[in-house]
Amino acid sequence: MEPILSLQNIYKAFGDRVVLNHVDLLIEPGEYVSIVGASGAGKSTLMNIIGLLDQNFTGTYAFNGQPLSKREHSRFRNQHLGFIFQQYNLIPSLTSKENILLPCAYASGKIQEAEQTCERMLREFGLEKQKDQPVNTLSGGEKQRIALIRSVIMDPEILLADEPTGNLDEKSGRRVRDFLQEMNLAGKTIIVVTHDLEFSNEAERRLKVEGGELHELS
Protein backbone atom coordinates (compact mmCIF):
# COMPACT_ATOMS: atom_id res chain seq x y z
CA MET A 1 0.00 0.00 0.00
CA GLU A 2 1.17 3.49 -0.79
CA PRO A 3 1.93 5.58 2.29
CA ILE A 4 -0.58 8.35 2.93
CA LEU A 5 2.22 10.61 4.14
CA SER A 6 5.82 10.31 3.23
CA LEU A 7 8.43 12.61 4.68
CA GLN A 8 11.93 12.05 3.48
CA ASN A 9 15.25 13.45 4.49
CA ILE A 10 13.65 16.06 6.73
CA TYR A 11 16.20 18.44 8.17
CA LYS A 12 15.31 21.19 10.58
CA ALA A 13 17.61 23.37 12.63
CA PHE A 14 17.14 26.48 14.72
CA GLY A 15 20.40 28.30 14.15
CA ASP A 16 23.15 25.87 15.22
CA ARG A 17 20.75 23.60 17.02
CA VAL A 18 19.79 20.72 14.78
CA VAL A 19 16.44 19.36 15.92
CA LEU A 20 15.67 16.93 13.10
CA ASN A 21 18.65 15.51 11.33
CA HIS A 22 17.62 14.00 7.99
CA VAL A 23 14.65 12.10 9.29
CA ASP A 24 12.47 9.76 7.22
CA LEU A 25 8.87 8.97 8.09
CA LEU A 26 6.37 6.93 6.15
CA ILE A 27 2.83 6.62 7.41
CA GLU A 28 0.34 4.12 6.06
CA PRO A 29 -3.34 4.99 5.72
CA GLY A 30 -5.31 4.05 8.84
CA GLU A 31 -2.26 3.81 11.05
CA TYR A 32 -2.32 4.95 14.66
CA VAL A 33 1.11 6.40 15.41
CA SER A 34 2.32 7.85 18.66
CA ILE A 35 5.47 9.91 19.01
CA VAL A 36 7.33 10.06 22.28
CA GLY A 37 10.57 11.57 23.39
CA ALA A 38 12.18 13.76 26.02
CA SER A 39 11.15 17.34 26.47
CA GLY A 40 12.87 19.49 23.89
CA ALA A 41 13.66 16.50 21.68
CA GLY A 42 11.75 17.96 18.74
CA LYS A 43 8.40 16.19 18.83
CA SER A 44 6.39 19.37 18.34
CA THR A 45 8.80 20.47 15.67
CA LEU A 46 8.19 17.24 13.80
CA MET A 47 4.42 17.53 14.27
CA ASN A 48 4.44 21.06 12.91
CA ILE A 49 6.24 19.84 9.85
CA ILE A 50 3.85 16.92 9.42
CA GLY A 51 0.98 19.39 9.73
CA LEU A 52 2.69 21.79 7.34
CA LEU A 53 2.26 24.50 9.93
CA ASP A 54 5.99 24.94 9.60
CA GLN A 55 7.05 25.21 6.01
CA ASN A 56 10.65 26.09 6.72
CA PHE A 57 12.35 22.76 6.45
CA THR A 58 14.38 20.90 3.90
CA GLY A 59 13.35 17.51 2.63
CA THR A 60 10.44 16.15 0.65
CA TYR A 61 6.86 15.89 1.73
CA ALA A 62 4.31 13.89 -0.20
CA PHE A 63 0.66 13.12 0.35
CA ASN A 64 -0.54 9.89 -1.29
CA GLY A 65 2.67 9.93 -3.26
CA GLN A 66 2.08 13.43 -4.58
CA PRO A 67 4.43 16.21 -3.57
CA LEU A 68 2.58 19.38 -2.50
CA SER A 69 3.43 22.82 -3.72
CA LYS A 70 3.48 25.67 -1.23
CA ARG A 71 0.30 27.12 -2.64
CA GLU A 72 -1.58 23.91 -1.93
CA HIS A 73 -0.59 23.80 1.73
CA SER A 74 -3.50 25.74 3.17
CA ARG A 75 -6.03 23.82 1.16
CA PHE A 76 -4.35 20.57 2.17
CA ARG A 77 -4.53 21.48 5.87
CA ASN A 78 -8.14 22.44 5.40
CA GLN A 79 -9.26 19.31 3.57
CA HIS A 80 -7.02 16.49 4.72
CA LEU A 81 -5.65 17.34 8.15
CA GLY A 82 -7.37 17.75 11.48
CA PHE A 83 -5.50 19.37 14.36
CA ILE A 84 -5.91 18.86 18.07
CA PHE A 85 -3.65 21.10 20.11
CA GLN A 86 -2.69 21.02 23.75
CA GLN A 87 -3.78 24.69 24.05
CA TYR A 88 -7.06 24.02 22.19
CA ASN A 89 -6.42 27.04 19.94
CA LEU A 90 -10.00 28.15 19.69
CA ILE A 91 -10.97 31.72 18.86
CA PRO A 92 -12.22 33.02 22.19
CA SER A 93 -14.73 35.56 20.92
CA LEU A 94 -16.56 33.11 18.69
CA THR A 95 -19.19 30.68 19.92
CA SER A 96 -18.61 26.95 20.12
CA LYS A 97 -20.50 26.32 16.94
CA GLU A 98 -18.74 29.10 15.07
CA ASN A 99 -15.38 27.73 16.15
CA ILE A 100 -16.31 24.26 15.01
CA LEU A 101 -17.50 25.49 11.63
CA LEU A 102 -14.55 27.82 11.11
CA PRO A 103 -12.67 25.50 8.73
CA CYS A 104 -15.77 25.42 6.51
CA ALA A 105 -15.39 29.14 5.86
CA TYR A 106 -12.26 28.36 3.88
CA ALA A 107 -13.57 25.35 2.01
CA SER A 108 -15.95 24.90 -0.84
CA GLY A 109 -18.90 22.56 -0.54
CA LYS A 110 -19.55 20.20 2.38
CA ILE A 111 -21.13 23.01 4.40
CA GLN A 112 -24.56 21.56 5.06
CA GLU A 113 -23.07 18.20 5.77
CA ALA A 114 -20.68 19.85 8.19
CA GLU A 115 -23.47 21.67 10.01
CA GLN A 116 -25.32 18.41 10.49
CA THR A 117 -22.20 16.69 11.73
CA CYS A 118 -21.58 19.59 14.07
CA GLU A 119 -25.06 19.38 15.60
CA ARG A 120 -24.83 15.63 15.94
CA MET A 121 -21.40 15.67 17.57
CA LEU A 122 -22.32 18.50 19.92
CA ARG A 123 -25.15 16.26 21.09
CA GLU A 124 -22.88 13.26 21.44
CA PHE A 125 -20.37 15.25 23.46
CA GLY A 126 -23.09 16.72 25.64
CA LEU A 127 -22.35 20.27 24.55
CA GLU A 128 -25.71 21.18 23.08
CA LYS A 129 -26.37 23.84 25.67
CA GLN A 130 -23.01 25.45 25.11
CA LYS A 131 -23.22 25.66 21.35
CA ASP A 132 -23.97 29.38 21.22
CA GLN A 133 -21.73 30.29 24.10
CA PRO A 134 -18.46 32.14 23.41
CA VAL A 135 -15.71 29.61 23.97
CA ASN A 136 -13.81 31.80 26.42
CA THR A 137 -16.59 31.04 28.88
CA LEU A 138 -16.12 27.28 28.59
CA SER A 139 -14.14 25.00 30.89
CA GLY A 140 -10.91 23.43 29.72
CA GLY A 141 -12.50 20.02 29.15
CA GLU A 142 -15.33 21.57 27.21
CA LYS A 143 -12.88 23.53 25.10
CA GLN A 144 -10.97 20.38 24.29
CA ARG A 145 -14.18 18.65 23.22
CA ILE A 146 -14.99 21.58 20.95
CA ALA A 147 -11.49 21.29 19.54
CA LEU A 148 -12.07 17.57 18.94
CA ILE A 149 -15.23 18.23 16.99
CA ARG A 150 -13.53 20.98 15.00
CA SER A 151 -10.65 18.66 14.08
CA VAL A 152 -12.96 16.26 12.26
CA ILE A 153 -15.57 18.66 10.90
CA MET A 154 -14.04 18.62 7.42
CA ASP A 155 -13.79 14.83 7.60
CA PRO A 156 -10.00 14.73 7.13
CA GLU A 157 -8.05 11.54 6.48
CA ILE A 158 -5.39 12.41 9.03
CA LEU A 159 -5.66 13.63 12.61
CA LEU A 160 -2.69 15.28 14.28
CA ALA A 161 -2.67 15.74 18.03
CA ASP A 162 0.18 17.36 19.95
CA GLU A 163 -0.22 16.43 23.61
CA PRO A 164 -3.98 16.58 23.45
CA THR A 165 -4.35 15.37 27.04
CA GLY A 166 -1.60 17.51 28.55
CA ASN A 167 -3.89 19.99 30.23
CA LEU A 168 -6.74 17.68 31.07
CA ASP A 169 -7.92 15.67 34.06
CA GLU A 170 -8.15 11.91 33.97
CA LYS A 171 -11.72 11.76 32.70
CA SER A 172 -11.34 14.33 29.98
CA GLY A 173 -8.07 12.76 28.91
CA ARG A 174 -9.81 9.44 28.68
CA ARG A 175 -12.42 10.97 26.41
CA VAL A 176 -9.78 12.32 24.06
CA ARG A 177 -8.08 8.94 23.88
CA ASP A 178 -11.38 7.18 23.23
CA PHE A 179 -12.17 9.71 20.56
CA LEU A 180 -8.88 9.11 18.78
CA GLN A 181 -9.34 5.37 18.94
CA GLU A 182 -12.83 5.65 17.60
CA MET A 183 -11.61 7.82 14.73
CA ASN A 184 -8.87 5.31 14.02
CA LEU A 185 -11.47 2.56 13.86
CA ALA A 186 -13.43 4.72 11.46
CA GLY A 187 -10.41 4.62 9.18
CA LYS A 188 -8.61 7.83 9.95
CA THR A 189 -4.86 8.00 10.26
CA ILE A 190 -3.84 9.27 13.69
CA ILE A 191 -0.55 10.77 14.73
CA VAL A 192 -0.24 11.77 18.35
CA VAL A 193 2.53 13.21 20.47
CA THR A 194 2.32 12.41 24.16
CA HIS A 195 4.29 12.05 27.37
CA ASP A 196 1.76 9.63 28.71
CA LEU A 197 3.13 6.13 28.40
CA GLU A 198 -0.23 4.46 28.74
CA PHE A 199 -1.65 6.69 26.05
CA SER A 200 1.23 6.04 23.70
CA ASN A 201 0.79 2.33 24.20
CA GLU A 202 -2.67 2.55 22.72
CA ALA A 203 -1.08 3.26 19.37
CA GLU A 204 -0.21 0.36 17.12
CA ARG A 205 3.05 2.00 16.11
CA ARG A 206 5.30 3.99 18.39
CA LEU A 207 8.11 6.33 17.41
CA LYS A 208 10.70 8.04 19.50
CA VAL A 209 12.48 11.28 18.73
CA GLU A 210 15.97 11.30 20.14
CA GLY A 211 19.07 13.24 19.25
CA GLY A 212 17.56 14.51 16.03
CA GLU A 213 16.66 11.02 14.91
CA LEU A 214 13.51 9.00 14.74
CA HIS A 215 13.42 5.43 16.07
CA GLU A 216 10.73 2.83 15.87
CA LEU A 217 9.83 1.34 19.25
CA SER A 218 8.30 -2.06 19.21
Partner 1 sequence: MSFRKCLRIVKNAFRMYGIYFRRNLYLTITISVSLLMFLGFAMYMDIELANQEQSYRRIQSNYIVVNCINQATTEEFNQLFHSNRRLALQHHFGSCELMNEDGEKIDAGCNLLASQQFISGISIRNGMDYLGGAEASNAFCYDTFELLCGRGQYRAANEAIISEELSSLIASKPEDALGKHIVLGLFGPTQVYVVVGVYHTTQTETRLNKESFQQLNAGINPEKSMIFTVFLPENALIGIEHPTDLYLFFQNQVEYREIMKKLQKYDAAHQVEEKMYSYRTPSENEESFEFDQATNTRTKALIMILVAVLAGISVFGTMENSISARKTEIGIKKALGAGDGAIMFEFLVENIITSLVAMLFSICLVSLALLAYTYYQRRFLAMDFVVWVYPSTIWLFLCYAFSSILGFSLIPAFRATQVNIIDTIRES
Ligand X SMILES: Nc1ncnc2c1ncn2[C@@H]1O[C@H](COP(=O)(O)OP(=O)(O)OP(=O)(O)O)[C@@H](O)[C@H]1O
Residues in touch with partner 1 (CB under 8 A): 48, 51, 53-54, 74-79, 83, 85, 87-91, 93-94, 98, 102-108, 111, 150, 154
19 binds, among partner 1, Mg ion, ligand X, none (CB under 5 to 8 A by kind): ligand X
Q: Which residues pair with 17 in a beta bridge?
A: 14
Strands 5-14 and 58-63: antiparallel
Which residue lies nearer to partner 1 by CB, 101 or 122? 101
- Amino acid occupying residue 35: I
Cβ at position 105, least distance to partner 1 in Å: 5
Element (H, E) at 7: strand 5-14
Question: What is d(CA 91, CA 33) in angstroms, rounded to the nearest whole number?
Answer: 28
For the window 22-41, what string marks contact with ligand X as x by the rule CB under 6 A? Answer: ---------------x-xxx
The closest residue (CB) to ligand X is 44
Residues lying near Mg ion in the complex (CB under 5 A) are found at 44
Cβ at position 183, least distance to ligand X in Å: 22
| Binding residue (CB under 6 A) for ligand X from 43, 77, 80, 206 | 43
32-71 per-residue burial string, b: 16 or more CB within 10 A, e: under 16: bbbbbbeeebbbbbbbbbbbbbeeebebebbbeeeeeeee
94 binds, among partner 1, Mg ion, ligand X, none (CB under 5 to 8 A by kind): partner 1
42 binds, among Mg ion, partner 1, ligand X, none (CB under 5 to 8 A by kind): ligand X
Query: Is 164 a residue that touches ligand X (CB under 6 A)?
Result: no
Question: What is d(CA 156, CA 50) in angstroms, rounded to the nearest whole number?
Answer: 14
Element (H, E) at 18: strand 17-27
